[in-house]
């Protein structure tokens, strides 16, 4: 199963809206076939593994990271392919919560006389497809909030200097995060302060969509996200009023515009932004900044995962990574669940899941 | 040498003003004696190891974590004891920078015909006695600044709630830190906010001296550090003026008072506090809070070591662990040298040495 999980991982960033899946076929204690899902329209992992095993699949056991599907989408049902190949036993890690599957795949296999087991390395398999499972459950994109800060929680000095807090390795890691998400989201403050490109130039990887949240649409003239939009991946989330006022900009540079509802406090409604993104086909968003955007997403309880890169520096007063969350007691602090850390160059990376009730 | 370092470690918190030292005697590949320094007046590590080896020391090699001394203090010189025991070879980890030794011990042994090597596990041996070496060099106590904070760098909520940010294991660790320092130092803000006892009640350990930095001396009536001073270990660092004004308190409870110079900004001069502590015989101070005291010590470049305990929590706005350091560029941020981290319960502990020029 560990091998199957490793195979599944190869599809990271490429399988959306499908899950990452890996499969290994074992006969008489030897691996006779393996495969993974490469993306929409490509063979499912089980079919790829059966193809690589050929006739050796007969009487074998298949280890698969997700419950085999039993419905016909772009490709045929995997349960049928498994039966046709005369596989004898299916061991899968976790159920596919997609309502079209969710136990029905396992049931179909059992009805056909196959032995079926599940739960092996379930936690790992659920985490592997955390985006896929969250999107099914919440019907909105999976939101990862990334923060790069000093140990004392600052992202810039009082005078606004922010380059560079984290080291080179951490910046490569940040670009990897971008390439694994379908979209990167920033606020207008970050556009004005940093004028970022939001590409994955530090490594070979997909460039994600770039969502700029801007009520005013008062972009600086040199704004890279508008000027360098050859790939037509810049999206501007703004108000109806700004769209009318700046109608000229709409005709240039292949920009996409989303008209977003306002929320009570005269700000753009973040849940509405996520709904627009979901309708657009975006299932994962990396919120990169700045402080105000991070704070708003946390306050709205719309952060699924937090990635905090901490550099071994102290700045004292400066721009805080997180602003006012209106939390008055330690008991009500936002806790990170299932968190872990790793070293990245000279920096530490904390990863966790905010324990907030929606 | 690793074994000798482990033996030396047993003396932690007990050897001041002497260094921690461990020694192991090896003959024909077997350990025949071992010892460590238990505290002032007790045998030095070399003498203890020689005693445990007895006649087997003849012709053996001694591994010692620090250069053997060559002067007579409370005990006789170790170089003489080594020669008398007919030890053949001395391997030590690092020089003793005490000007009375610093190479003279090694020289005396060589002159007597012994083989002498040094440098084995030098970094570990220097770190073991970082307090001792710093005190010799700087002629002031070694200052460790401890901070317990959320990931976003807060030590309390906006309304002042601070109990408890870190977990039970981290609080035991904090008490261990206290027991390893000769004194704990806090500001008046912490006295008023937390009314702490500053004991090591979570473990068996020495209770350190308790230094309260208070210009005003306006203590709350219930102040535990004044009321519970049976061990006469509470010290108040204050101004000449406050001492005169509150002459009554001076006669009670076995308190010690230090009259401290004021620095430019009408605050107590921290360097002068350290000088008073040094004259008092205190060689290690743990600065525990709060934010203002931490900031002042960092600004004055008087922090030798930083210990930051970070809980997997986010608070947003609140009391920052570090206030205004007047740093305007990332380039000038305070960097941690030789830093490392470890997990402590659910919290992470960062340890490092501020890279600040004095």
ipTM: 0.84
Report the pLDDT value the prediction gives residue A207, as an integer from 0 to 100.
86
Residue A329 has pLDDT above 90, yes or no: yes
Cis peptide before B225 (omega within 30 of 0): no
Report the pLDDT value the prediction gives residue B94, as an integer from 0 to 100.
96
Query: A313 and B333: CB-CB below 8 Å?
Result: yes
pLDDT digits (tens, 9 = 90+) for B79-107: 999 999 999 999 999 999 998 899 999 99
Question: Which residue in B11, B13, B10 sits closest to B180, CA to CA?
Answer: B13
Q: Within an 8 Å CB–CB cutoff, is residue B162 touching chain A? A: yes
Q: What is the mean pLDDT of residues A337-344?
A: 92
Residue A155 has pLDDT above 80, yes or no: yes
* Helices and strands: H and E segment counts in chain B: 12, 17
Alpha carbon of A307: minimum distance to chain B alpha carbons (Å): 11
A326 is catalytic: no
Nearest CA in chain A to B320: A152
Alpha carbon of B110: minimum distance to chain A alpha carbons (Å): 43
Q: What is the mean pLDDT of residues A84-105?
A: 94
pLDDT digits (tens, 9 = 90+) for A99-152: 889 999 999 999 999 999 999 999 999 999 999 999 999 999 999 999 999 999
Residue A46 has pLDDT above 80, yes or no: yes
Report the pLDDT value the prediction gives residue B31, as an integer from 0 to 100.
97
- Which pair of tokens denotes residue B2? 């690793």
Q: What is the mean pLDDT of residues A277-297?
A: 94
Query: B153 and A158: CB-CB below 8 Å?
Result: no
Report the pLDDT value the prediction gives residue B75, as an integer from 0 to 100.
78
Task: Please give the Cα distance from B87 to B27 (Å, whole number).
Answer: 10
- Give A265 or A234, the one with higher predicted confidence: A234
Query: B316 and A322: CB-CB below 8 Å?
Result: yes
Residue A286 has pLDDT above 70, yes or no: yes
Which H helix or E strand runs over B235?
A: strand B234-238
Percent of chain A with pLDDT over 90: 75
Report the pLDDT value the prediction gives residue A266, as an integer from 0 to 100.
66
- Which pair of tokens denotes residue A70? 């039993």
Report the pLDDT value the prediction gives residue A250, as an integer from 0 to 100.
66
A295 chain-B contacts, CB cut-off 8 A: 316
Kindly give the confidence (pLDDT) of every residue in chain B, 358 residues in length, as a single tens digit, with 9 standing for 90 and above: 999 999 999 999 889 899 999 999 999 999 999 999 999 989 999 999 999 999 999 999 999 999 999 988 777 899 999 999 999 999 999 999 998 899 999 999 999 999 999 999 999 999 999 999 999 999 999 999 999 999 999 999 988 888 899 999 999 999 999 999 999 999 998 998 888 888 887 777 778 999 999 988 888 888 898 888 888 999 999 999 888 887 776 666 789 999 999 987 668 999 999 999 999 999 999 999 789 999 999 999 999 999 999 999 999 999 999 999 999 999 999 999 999 999 999 999 999 999 987 6
Residue A237 has pLDDT above 90, yes or no: yes
What are the b/e assignments for B249-286, b being 16+ CB within 10 Å? beeeeebbbbebeeeeeeebbbebbbbbbbebebbbbb
Q: Could you identify the residue written with the tokens 């040495």?
A: B353
Q: Within an 8 Å CB–CB cutoff, is residue A17 touching chain B? A: no
Contact A176, A335 (CB under 8 A): no
Q: Within an 8 Å CB–CB cutoff, is residue B338 touching chain A? A: no
Q: What is the mean pLDDT of residues A293-319?
A: 95
Among the options A9, A46, A117, A180, which is catalytic?
A46
Dihedral angle, C-alpha A236, A237, A241, A242, nearest 10 °? -30
Of residues B295, B314, B339, nearest to A316 (C-beta): B295
DSSP A230-299: TT--EEEEE-HHHHHHTTTGGGSTT-EEEE--B-TTSSB-HHHHHHHHHHHT--EEEEEE-HHHHHHHHH
Alpha carbon of B155: minimum distance to chain A alpha carbons (Å): 10
Task: Please give the Cα distance from A136 to A324 (Å, whole number).
Answer: 31
- Which pair of tokens denotes residue B174? 């904090």
Cα of B204 vs its chain's centroid, Å: 18
Q: Measured between alpha carbons, how far is residue A219 from residues A212, A216, A225, A243, B167 in Å?
A: 10, 8, 10, 13, 46
Q: Would you tell me which residues 299-328 of chain A have a C-beta closer than 8 angstroms to some C-beta of chain B?
A: 306, 308, 310, 312-318, 320-328
Question: Which residue in B58, B130, B55 sits closest to B87, CA to CA?
Answer: B58
Residue A76 has pLDDT above 70, yes or no: yes
Q: Would you tell me which residues 164-193 of chain B have a C-beta closer than 8 angstroms to some C-beta of chain A?
A: 164-165
Task: Please give the Cα distance from A232 to A91 (Å, whole number).
Answer: 43
Q: What is the mean pLDDT of residues A2-22?
A: 94
The model's pTM is 0.88
CA neighbours closer than 13 Å in the CB half-sphere of residue A314: 31
């Amino acid at each position: 199963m560990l091998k199957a999980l490793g195979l599944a991982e190869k599809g990271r960033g490429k399988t959306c809206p499908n899950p990452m899946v890996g499969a290994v076929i074992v006969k008489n204690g030897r691996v006779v076939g393996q495969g993974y899902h490469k993306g929409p329209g490509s063979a499912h992992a089980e079919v790829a593994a059966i193809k690589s095993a050929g006739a050796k699949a007969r009487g074998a056991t298949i280890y698969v990271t997700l419950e085999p599907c039993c419905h016909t989408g772009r490709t045929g049902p995997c349960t049928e392919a498994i039966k046709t190949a005369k596989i004898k036993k299916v061991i899968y890690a976790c159920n596919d919560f997609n309502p079209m599957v969710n136990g029905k795949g396992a049931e179909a296999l059992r009805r056909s006389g196959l032995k079926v087991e599940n739960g092996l390395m379930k936690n790992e398999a659920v985490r592997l497809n955390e985006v896929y499972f969250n999107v099914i459950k919440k019907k909105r994109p999976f939101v990862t909030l990334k923060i790069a800060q000093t140990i004392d929680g600052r992202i810039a000095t009082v005078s606004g200097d922010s380059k560079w807090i984290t080291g080179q390795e951490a910046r490569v890691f940040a670009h990897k995060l971008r390439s694994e998400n379908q979209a990167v989201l920033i606020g207008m403050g970050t556009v004005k302060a940093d004028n970022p490109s939001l590409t994955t130039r530090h490594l070979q990887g997909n460039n994600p969509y770039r969502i700029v949240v801007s009520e005013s649409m008062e972009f600086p003239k040199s704004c890279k996200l508008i000027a360098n939009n050859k790939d037509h991946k810049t999206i501007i989330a703004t108000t109806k009023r700004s769209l009318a006022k700046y109608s000229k900009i709409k005709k240039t540079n292949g920009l996409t515009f989303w008209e977003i509802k306002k929320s009570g406090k005269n700000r753009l409604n973040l849940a509405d932004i996520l709904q627009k993104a979901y309708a657009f086909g975006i299932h994962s968003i990396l919120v990169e900044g700045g402080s105000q955007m991070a704070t708003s997403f946390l306050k709205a309880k719309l952060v699924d995962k937090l990635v905090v890169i901490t550099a071994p520096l102290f700045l004292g007063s400066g721009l805080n990574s997180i602003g006012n969350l209106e939390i008055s007691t330690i008991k009500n602090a936002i806790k990170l669940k299932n968190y872990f850390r790793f070293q990245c160059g000279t920096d530490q990376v904390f990863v966790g899941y905010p324990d907030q009730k929606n």
